[in-house]
Structure formats: C-alpha cells, structure tokens
Amino acid sequence: MTLRLHTAMRAARAAGKIMREKLNGARDIRSKGKRDIVTDADYAADHAVRTILRARFPHDHVLSEEDAQATREKLWARVEHSTDEHLWVIDPLDGTTNYAHRLPSFCVSIALHQRGAVQIGVVYDPLRDEMFAAERGRGAVLNGAPIAVSTTRRFADAVVGTEWARDQKLR
C-alpha cells in the first residue's frame, strides 16, 4: 500500500468518525440550491480530510464538493491535463440528504487524480466500518480483502442500483 493510499484511508476514517458522532445530534442544515443541501457534518468532515491530506502532502491540490463551483472549475482546469500535479477530489459526506434525514446510507469519497486519470479511490462507510480502496494497477479491496467485479453475464440476472442526478439535463 502506498503512502498516498494509506493517508486517504486515514482521512476517510477521520471524516467517518465525525459523521458517526454528529449523526444523532442537533444539526445545521442549509440549502446550496435545488435538491442540494449541506450540513455542519459536511463542513467538519471536509476540514478533517483536508487537514490530514495537506499535513502529509502540502503541495497537492484539494477539490471538494463543498468548494464554490467557480473554485472547482478553475482548479480542475488547471490540473486536468497536468502530468506532475496531484489533485485530491473529495466528497466529505457523500449522501448528505440521507445523512440529514438520519438514513444509514452515506459515506466519505476520496480520489487522487494525476496524469489525466484517477490513481487512487477510497470510499468509507462509517456505519458499517467498510473501507473500499483501490490503486491503479493494484486492484481493489474491502477492509483489506481483495474484491472483484461481478461475473454475472446476463443483464436479466444482474442486480443494478441507480440514483437520479441532481442536474435535470443529466437526469
């Protein structure tokens, strides 16, 4: 396991701890737009992830769902085709609507983009203590055990999950 993957996993666990602690308490919920909310837990988890990533990799960039759209677009344009810059892309509380309603389906999502592609991906479900992690060329694991894609060949035999995009054009 590389230092970057280890650090991303540590950051995800720190954000997950915050979510667990805040889940049943009082909450501050705000609207960012149509069907788009943010909670105090989003901001606290965002801060925890940024703090851990920046402490270990101070020259890397961090793009968060909690950043202003103009900030996200500007940063993405800068590093999208760069070969030497590292960009951490985070959704510190992926599933905010579920979280705000205390529905137990949310996670922390962290990815590292470099050389035009995602190099590392981490998704942590703090309620189930499930850490999904992958590195380009090294496969994926769930809590350290290797995982693989389904071998189901026929669509009729598959179980498929989906979600409607917030953006009406994408929907």
pLDDT band at 5 (very low <50, low <70, confident <90, very high): very high
Q: Which residues contact 18 (CB under 8 A, 6 or more apart)?
A: 41, 44, 45, 48
pLDDT in tens, 116-149: 899 999 999 999 999 999 999 999 999 999 999 8
Domain boundaries, the chain: 3-157
Strands 107-114 and 145-147: unpaired
In CATH, 3-157 is 3.30.540.10: yes
State which amino acid sits at residue 49.
V
The span from the CA of 44 to the CA of 98, in Å, is: 17
DSSP 8-state secondary structure symbol assigned to residue 149: -
pLDDT in tens, 23-38: 998 888 887 776 678 9
pTM of the model: 0.89
